[in-house]
Chains A and B, each alone.
Chain A
Amino acid sequence: MKDKNIKVLLVDDEEAFVDTLANRLKLRDLKVETVYDGEQALAAVKEKEPDVMILDLKMPGLHGMEVLREIRKTYPKIQVIILTGHGTEKHEEEARRLGGFDFLKKPTDIETLLGKIKIAYKEKLEKAFSAIAFAEAGEFDTAREIMEEENDK
Chain B
Amino acid sequence: MKLRPFIDFLKSVITFRPMDTGADFAEMRYKGLKRTLVFWMSVLTIVPLLVLFTASYYWLQALFHEESRHELAWDIENAKNQIEYFVDVKISALRFLASGHRYDQLSDQQLLARIFAAFKREFGAVVDLGLIDKHGIQQSYTGPYNLQGKDYANQEWFHKAVTRGIYVSDVFLGYRRLPHFAIAVKQDEPDTDTFWILRATIDMETLNRLLSSIKLDDADDAFIISRSGTLQTSSQHHGDVLEQYAVPALLRQRGITILDLKDDAGRPYVFGYAFIKDTSWILSVVEKSGTRTKIAAVFRAEYFAVIAVIVFLILLAAFRMVHVMVNWIRESEEKREEVLREVEHATKLASIGRLAAGVSHEINNPLAIINEKAGLMKDILMLSENNVDREKFLRSVNGILDSVKRARTITHQLLGFARRMDVTPEVLDINDVLTEVVGFLQKETLFRDVQVKQNLGADLPRVKSNRGRLQQVFLNIINNAMDAMEAGGRIEIITDLKDKSTVRARIRDSGRGMDAQTLKHIFDPFFTTKGMTKGTGLGLFISYGIIKKLGGNILVQSEVDKGTTFTVELPVDQPVPTIA
Contacts and interface: CB of A to CB of B under 8 A. Distances in A.
Interface of A: 14, 16-17, 20-21, 23-24, 27, 58-61, 84-86, 88, 105-110
A148 B226 CA distance: 139
A92 B170 CA distance: 134
A84 B364 CA distance: 8
B356 to A, nearest CB: 10
Interface stretch (B86-94, B263-271, B371-379): B371-379
A27 B361 contact: no
A20 B361 CA distance: 19
Contact of B379 (A24, A59, A107): A24
Contacts of A107: 364, 367-368, 370-372
Contact of B365 (A23, A61, A85): A85
Interface of B: 357, 360-365, 367-373, 375-376, 379, 383, 396, 399, 402-403, 446-449, 487
Given A16-B403, A85-B368, A58 B361 contact: yes
Given A17-B365, A24-B372, A106-B365, 10 more contacts: A17-B369, A17-B372, A20-B373, A58-B447, A60-B449, A61-B487, A85-B361, A107-B372, A108-B368, A108-B371
Nearest to B380: A27
Given A58-B361, A85-B364, A20 B369 contact: yes
The 7 closest A-B pairs by CB, nearest first: A85-B364, A107-B371, A106-B368, A20-B372, A107-B368, A86-B361, A106-B364
A60 B442 CA distance: 13
Contacts of B448: 60
Given A27-B379, A27-B383, A110-B375, A20 B396 contact: yes
Contacts of B363: 85
A14 B375 contact: no
Most buried by A among B365, B446, B449: B365
A84 B368 CA distance: 9
A109 B360 CA distance: 18
A27 B392 CA distance: 14
Contacts of B369: 14, 16-17, 20
Nearest to A88: B357
A71 B399 CA distance: 32
B329 to A, nearest CB: 44
Contacts of A61: 449, 487
22 contacts: A14-B369, A16-B403, A17-B369, A17-B372, A20-B373, A20-B396, A21-B372, A23-B379, A24-B372, A24-B375, A24-B379, A27-B383, A60-B448, A61-B449, A84-B361, A85-B361, A85-B364, A86-B357, A88-B357, A107-B370, A108-B368, A109-B371
